Amino acid sequence: MKIKLNDVNGWIEGTSCVVTALAALSDETPQTIASLLSDVVADNGGYVEPLVTSAFNRKHWEEALGRLGFEYLIVGDCAASDLRNAETIEDFLRSEMPSTARLVFCKRADHSDAHVFVVFGDRLVDVYTRGRAADIDSLSLPSEFDDFLVACIYEVKVSLGSRRRL
């Protein structure tokens, strides 16, 4: 299996950023990803209704990445304890993009909200692209994302010898 950034098949308004990002990486539907995330939550003693909530935390989607056959390396401070020197999403997108798939984890400076999106090369998939793989150069970041800061980056690759466990 090779990673490529896909349009999300079956993306609908209201799909969470986590579900959108994982669906774009894996080429699974949002329904499959939401069900997988709900299973991960249940396996860890919790309960969420698939496609009803976006209450998935990093622990949940980190485990989901493994079940999808991926491994990752974290670059940065995901705890976001000190965001004083963190880039905005817009600044991050203007920097040179490596040829690896990246899940980009962002927080507001006051820690009131978090957001994740996926980039690969010069393309991005997010909720504001409506689940479509869009060229970064042609994007205009919606104002509601202006105050998000990049806390950390997950460099994602296929885990050799790993099988998907959906």
Model confidence pLDDT, tens digit, residues 80-137: 677 888 999 999 999 877 788 999 999 998 888 899 999 999 999 999 999 999 999 9
165 in any annotated domain: no
4 in any annotated domain: no
Binning pLDDT at 50, 70 and 90, where does residue 52 land? low
Q: What is the pLDDT of residues 95-109, one digit of tens each?
A: 877 788 999 999 998
| Distance of alpha carbon 32 from alpha carbon 15, whole angstroms | 12
Please, what is the Cα angle at 116 between 113 and 119, to 5 degrees?
Answer: 155
Q: Which residue has the tokens 């994302």?
A: 145
| Distance of alpha carbon 56 from alpha carbon 109, whole angstroms | 20
| Distance of alpha carbon 119 from alpha carbon 137, whole angstroms | 12
| Distance of alpha carbon 63 from alpha carbon 156, whole angstroms | 13
| Distance of alpha carbon 112 from alpha carbon 107, whole angstroms | 8
Domain of 124, in residue numbers: 17-158
CATH number at residue 138: 3.90.70
What is the model's pTM?
Answer: 0.91
Predicted local distance difference test score (pLDDT) of residue 112: 85
Q: What is the pLDDT of residues 141-163, one digit of tens each?
A: 999 999 999 999 999 998 876 66
7 in any annotated domain: no
30 in any annotated domain: yes
Query: For the chain, what percent of residues have pLDDT higher than 90?
Result: 58
The structure tokens listed for 81 are 């304890």
8 in any annotated domain: no
Predicted local distance difference test score (pLDDT) of residue 76: 80
In the DSSP assignment, the letter for residue 163 is -
How many structural domains does the chain have? 1
Cα-based torsion angle of the residue sequence 30, 35, 39, 41 in order, rounded to the nearest 10 degrees: 60
Are residues 155 and 100 in contact, defined by beta-carbon separation less than 8 angstroms? yes
80 in any annotated domain: yes
Q: What is the pLDDT of residues 32-50, one digit of tens each?
A: 998 999 899 888 887 776 6
Q: Which residue has the tokens 């466990």?
A: 165
37 in any annotated domain: yes
143 in any annotated domain: yes
Predicted local distance difference test score (pLDDT) of residue 32: 93
Burial class (CB in 10 A: 0-12, 13-18, 19+), 62: middle
